[in-house]
Amino acid sequence: MDLLKDKVILLTGGTGSFGNKFTDIVLKEHNPNAIRIFSRGEKKQLDMANRFKDDRLRFFIGDVRDKDRLHRAMNDVDIVVHAAALKQVPACEYNPIEAVRTNIDGGINVIDAAIDNGIERVIAISTDKAVHPVNLYGATKMTAEKLFIQGNSYAGKANTMFSCVRYGNVIGSRGSVIPLFLEQKKTGAITITHEEMTRFWIRLEDGVRFVTKCVNRMKGGEIFVPKIPSMKIIDLADAIAPGVKRKIIGIRPGEKIHEILITEDEAKHSREFNDSFVIEPEHPFWEEDNLAGGKQLPEGFRYTSANNEKWITKGEIKKIIKEL
């Protein structure tokens, strides 16, 4: 059963890269009753309205920091997808209080407004930066994950379910290194922080489809992690600018050589499926048979961008860049 069909969906951060692709796919493939785009930028909302020209779209000017506005926007909503965040690592480091107010306080407001409005399902978008965070952005997203999972306890008898989706870097999105490399290629030199660096990568449309699938699967309390490929940053540089001079500049503050999507501690209460892993909550509200069919992970398992079984080849990288 498609739980998005004929439903009213509120999408925070709706004018971003994820929001635009989510709207495109859900309108075409799931036939919702309405999608409410909740964001701060009226110009981006106007551009989005002109692009889609679909009367199932509604546009709400608002900020997740404003609980009253969120409460009004969620009136008669069935499903909330929370994608709003400050996510540029350097900006969050330089403006830490603003990052906390949006990524943490904003998350609390989403949780409270969802419970008060009796929303059926809420799914929050997280990141590999939330695992063993080394920068403020990752720390705020780690906190947000904890808040949304525990939101199931706060809901009580309201029957509002909260879950998270955690995945890696989105290819070609805002903040992606691909546009940077393409621009640097013109100058004749590409900057690389570390030659051994690896990253998880996921296409935007794959991320959206995984989220829509998780909305249907969720029981409330899970962190869903897709099985996605890794990429060596040096291979990405070779694919974008073969033969172009490389300049090694060293790891920036708040940056890791490899990313992690599941720690060995989380693996102890996780299940493996064909396309994903699901981290079970360690809370009394969780029922053990919620993840029937999933396999237990071996002792000491860690899901990192360095030990991944799936890798993107240089040929695949070139194809992706051409598509972008």
Catalytic residue set: 129
Which has the closest alpha carbon to 17: 221, 179, 224, 234?
179
Which has the closest alpha carbon to 77: 129, 30, 39, 113?
113
Which has the closest alpha carbon to 218: 173, 163, 262?
163
Distance separating alpha carbons of residues 71 and 68, to the nearest angstrom:
5
Residues paired with residue 167 on neighbouring β-strands, in sequence order: 127
Which has the closest alpha carbon to 89: 208, 174, 212, 154?
174
Q: Which helix (H) or strand (E) holds 80?
A: strand 79-82
37 CB-contact burial (10 Å; exposed 0-12 / middle 13-18 / buried 19+): buried
**Token pair belonging to 320:** 């992706």
**At residue 264, what are phi and psi to the nearest 5 degrees?**
-65, -30
* 80 within 8 A of 122, measured Cβ to Cβ: yes
Distance separating alpha carbons of residues 212 and 257, to the nearest angstrom:
31
**Token pair belonging to 240:** 């974008």
